[in-house]
Amino acid sequence: MKRALYFVKGLIIAGFGVIALSCSEGKGAKDTSYLEEISVKELADAYRSGKLTISQVVEDYLYRIETIDKSGPGLNSVIAVNPDAIKIAKELEKELADGRDRGIMHGIPVILKDNIDSRDSMPTTAGATVLAGNYVVRDSKVAELLREAGAIIIAKSNMSEWANFRASRSSSGWSGTGGQTRNPYVLDRTPCGSSSGSGVAVSANLCALAVGTETNGSIVCPSSINGVVGIKPTVGLVSRTGVIPISFTQDTPGPIARSVEDAAIMLGILASKDTADKASMVEGAKFYKDYTQFIKKDGLKGKRIALLTNVSFHHMVDSLMRDAVRAIKAAGAEVIEISFPLPQGASSASYTVMLYEFKYGLNKYLAEAGSGSKAKNIEELIAFNKRDSIELRYFDQALLYEANAKGGLEDPEYKEALKSMQIMMRGEGIDKLMKVYKLDAIMAPTDTPAWKIDLTDGDNYIGSSSSYAALSGYPSITLPMGYVNNLPIGISFFAGAWSEPMLIEIASGFESVKRERKAPQFITSLER
């Protein structure tokens, strides 16, 4: 079997200044600027009109990965490229020529976060060197659905190792396997995690779409901080089968894209019942094959949206939020102000749940990984990391010790933490707010501006609104609302379970009146 082109390297970024995104200059350079900001629909139409071929587009995205991600600015968002991508592209090209059209995703290049199993010739590592040889033989449900729709998985994205659930402190976007991913807007700033590579790859136009995963903030933060759109679905809307887990109570894959429409297109492919994932089989679950039907330019008109006044962590972000509220009101929505701080004890309950479920889920995954893993459980993983020359170079493995010390899922501590978290965040939380205030959605700024990368002290994280949707298991969508010193800032809309249609309607309405997405220019540092 062919092995993936695998990237492990340090990065030197000094002296790049502002790099032109098109990469069309220089001797022998290829002009791939036509791919910058191109939409899924534009690619699909170009394939069918003959203006572009699938193999040409895949080849040019791979060229962009080589010249922008590996060298050039050196974003380090891609951990491995699919050596069979061109071959798959030509097969799908022939299908289309023969009249076998799989739909809008036919031939669309996609990047998967590297904790999502894919039977392509790339390992699934979660950024951990212990899984460097983990070439799986079966697709995750996510990869299976994308493949059936005709998407081409061209690469795996770098990520915060173990989805940022390993160390007492860490740098978002750093993994032992892939090194440090960098923000394409300002290269010495964080890409946020743990779906850092997915957010960066989409933002830098290295693919049409990407898939991330979230337990708490890992889709919405890298989407916000990298100036793109991210949808964190209701837990269960998108299958977790074949995804390296943290918490089956909070984990979910979701789309990352440059527009609400593109994110909705991918969500329609990924949303599916899965008998192997109990969360997708619950009563009341709502799945749609086409979420683009909910896109409306006037999607804000008549909506009642609550602004969380207690979510304030940066004065310049607050200013952008006030501008956004004015635009939302002008578009016909009613905005009411409410205060709802996270209930006392909710975060600690979530942490307890994650420790228990991480131990259960990761032990199960490692045991089933066969010869692909050099450890069969967390205890062996801890021992491996102690011996490895890379894994503990910057950060410890305190969370692995904590998780390993927990008991099983029958422990009263686990059951009580899970019960109290869901009461606080669902019945007495978002569900109650939606009912009492007769809301269509709740909104808040997604995150602070991107902070400086620091491999000594780790993330300098100020604040976020991600926990509301994460701890409840409910959906959230983030999209760009402006910039602070060239650093993107996102706005989040969230609501009750299975409310993706309403959130897409509201987000598309916001995007139509305040479209703030602009391509990154790879500034070296704000201090230069």
Distance CA 516, CA 140 (A): 34
Please, what's the b/e burial string for 72-97 (b: 16 or more CB within 10 A of its CB; e: otherwise)? bbbbbbbbbbbebbbebbeebbebbe
Identity at 95, one-letter amino acid code: E
Catalytic residue from among 22, 70, 113, 492: 113
Peptide bond into 194 cis (omega under 30): yes
CB 141 within 8 A of CB 272: yes
Catalytic residue from among 55, 77, 195, 218: 218
Is 194 tagged catalytic? yes
Closest CA to 78 of 170, 149, 173, 165: 173
User: Residues 379, 384, 387, 391: is their CA dihedral positive or negative?
Assistant: negative
**Strands 152-157 and 109-113, bridge-based pairing:** parallel
Distance CA 222, CA 135 (A): 26
Catalytic residue from among 140, 157, 175, 194: 194
Residue 33: DSSP 8-state: G
CB 154 within 8 A of CB 417: no
Backbone angles phi, psi at 441, to 5 degrees: -165, 170
Distance CA 166, CA 391 (A): 11
Please, what's the b/e burial string for 154-163 (b: 16 or more CB within 10 A of its CB; e: otherwise)? bbbbbbbbbb
Q: Which helix (H) or strand (E) holds 247?
A: none
Is 218 tagged catalytic? yes
Is 27 tagged catalytic? no
Within 8 A by CB and 6+ apart from 376, the residues are 366, 367, 369
Catalytic residues: 113, 194, 218
